[in-house]
Chain A
Amino acid sequence: NAGVMQNPRHLVRRRGQEARLRCSPMKGHSHVYWYRQLPEEGLKFMVYLQKENIIDESGMPKERFSAEFPKEGPSILRIQQVVRGDSAAYFCASSPGQQGRMNTEAFFGQGTRLTVV
């Protein structure tokens, strides 16, 4: 059973370009979470999605950032018109989404390291 898969592992973008980060959750998981880790900091929650629904986007910047988790395919975190301050590691996590014990555990991918030059 493959873990949470993120791609690309490393992404370099020039200022003003768009960045698209992909996340395939673990098999059987229907809940996806995106976190951002700035250099030398802990992870900060961005958004929580279920299939075709955004459940909680309280951590998303109001502009330029969007996320989706379509019925088919991976979850996408999209950053438009990137700026230097967007350089960070972006981690995706997934959970089964069922009530009870299993929903307490979030399994993380290896992250996408975005560098804006």
Chain B
Amino acid sequence: GEDVEQSLFLSVREGDSSVINCTYTDSSSTYLYWYKQEPGAGLQLLTYIFSNMDMKQDQRLTVLLNKKDKHLSLRIADTQTGDSAIYFCAESETGANNLFFGTGTRLTVIP
């Protein structure tokens, strides 16, 4: 079955860039997503990318996709304390239904 892997923890200093990495196994992945979960809250869709794209930029967020290596990354520029949260990578063949999530990366921003 599909497998989505992320490292569990990342710490960065405020103002630095954060890079959160994700690898997946499903060759048929069409959509790749990044979600943010703050403590006790639901998931907030940050951004997503189609598998025929290499990069997508949205303000402080940059998503890079290496389809050959099945590697997805999320770069957050000028990381702020409010960015501290768990970031989930997810992939899907068909879009909004049946997303496969990674275990999440807990980002801690040190003031």
Tell me how many residues of B have a C-beta within 8 Å of chain A: 22
Residues of B within 8 A of A60 (CB): none
What 1/0 mask marks residues of chain B from 65 to 109 whose CB sits below 8 Å from any chain A CB? 000000000000000000000001010000111111111100000
Let me know if B10 is at the binding interface, CB within 8 A: no
Tell me how many residues of A have a C-beta within 8 Å of chain B: 28
- The CA of A7 and the CA of B90, in the complex, are separated in Å by 25
Q: Closest residue of chain A to B4, judged by CB?
A: A42
B43 touches A48 (CB 8 A): no
Q: How far is the CB of A80 from chain B (nearest CB, A)?
A: 24
Residues of A within 8 A of B45 (CB): 105-108
- The CA of A93 and the CA of B95, in the complex, are separated in Å by 13
B4 touches A105 (CB 8 A): no
Contact of B96 among A59, A104, A110 (CB under 8 A): A104
A31 touches B97 (CB 8 A): yes
A41 touches B99 (CB 8 A): no
B103 touches A40 (CB 8 A): yes
- The CA of A8 and the CA of B63, in the complex, are separated in Å by 35
CB-contacts of B1-35 with A (<8 A): 4, 31, 35
**What would 6 more interface pairs be, CB under 8 Å, given A41-B103, A103-B95?**
A40-B103, A42-B88, A42-B103, A44-B101, A91-B43, A106-B45
Q: Name A residues whose Cβ lies closer than 8 Å to a Cβ of B.
A: 4, 6, 31, 33, 35, 40-45, 48, 55-56, 58-59, 91, 93, 95, 103-111
